[in-house]
Amino acid sequence: MAKPTLTDLLKAGMHFGHKTSNWHPKMAPFIFGAKGGTHIINLEKSEEMLDRALEAIKEIAGRGGIVLFVGTKSQAKDSLKKYAQACGMPYVSERWLGGTLTNFRQIKESLKRFKSLKDQRDKGELRKYTKKEQLMIQWEIEDMEKRLGGIENLTKAPEAMFVVDIRTERTAVREAGVTGTQVIALCDTNVNPKGVDFIIPSNDDAVKTIELMCRLVCDAVKEGKAHAVTAAKETQKATQVASQ
């Protein structure tokens, strides 16, 4: 994973906060100053805290933990989905489904039905229903695809959650607090970072910034997984040698 330089973060626009009239005092430690009525984020702080967050993600992925990517606002959807898929992690890029964390048992039941309906459709088994029933089932599949498609292969509760905007995703962050799910999040100057385990002081609106952050999280997951595979092979090799 190539570590971004301060110049990379600057070029991505990570330093641009919100208007000075729209800020949260708890983000004061991460603010460098203001320019033209806009707060400027201290990128040295951002770099330091980004490193911590990425190390945490590598460690989680390295032990087989799941990192759920969450970002439903328009600027985040495409990048979030692309990079979550690239590293084999679940994601929520549409509306957060209440209970995804706090009522995971029910979510698993919904996923079970979703997979069953898709399986019936793919095997042509829906023909046994009337045309009206087929249309209703197809509508249900499409609706579930939108709501559950990103977490379709989620077999256990995630250990951590990467969030692009904690104000937009406040319900998800609240559920994470209830379930003890670690929260790794971009925190702009207008948010209260309470409930975030790994704060990444950052512009959370710019497409370039979001793209870069999603890519870095994706790379950290891949690195963690690769390290786990290497460690497993070395352990297996050592066991074989010892048994000879």
217 contacts 69 by C-beta, under 8 angstroms: yes
**Domain contains 225:** yes
Do residue 231 and residue 161 come from a single domain?
yes
Digit-coded pLDDT (tens) for 67-88:
999 999 999 999 999 999 999 9
Q: State the pLDDT at residue 235.
A: 62
- C-alpha angle 22-71-57 in degrees, rounded to nearest 5: 105
pLDDT confidence bin for 109, thresholds 50/70/90: very high
17 contacts 190 by C-beta, under 8 angstroms: yes
User: Structurally, how many domains does the chain consist of?
Assistant: 2
Digit-coded pLDDT (tens) for 134-175:
899 999 999 999 999 999 989 899 999 999 999 999 999 999
Q: State the pLDDT at residue 194.
A: 94
CATH number, domain at 110?
Answer: 1.10.287
Beta bridge partners of 200: 186
Instruction: Give me the helix-helix angle, 74-86 and 207-243, nearest 10°.
Output: 20
In the block, residue with structure tokens 């994973």: 1
Do residue 140 and residue 175 come from a single domain?
no
Do residue 84 and residue 205 come from a single domain?
yes
| Spatial separation of the C-alpha atoms in residues 135 and 232, rounded to whole Å | 48
What is the pLDDT averaged over residues 226-241?
71
**Domain contains 1:** no
Determine the straight-line distance between the first and last CA of the chain, rounded to whole angstroms.
37
Pull the structure tokens for residue 128: 């046994």
Do residue 86 and residue 175 come from a single domain?
yes
Pull the structure tokens for residue 18: 């919100």
Do residue 73 and residue 142 come from a single domain?
no
Q: Which domain holds residue 73?
A: 6-101+157-243
Do residue 128 and residue 55 come from a single domain?
no
Do residue 143 and residue 206 come from a single domain?
no
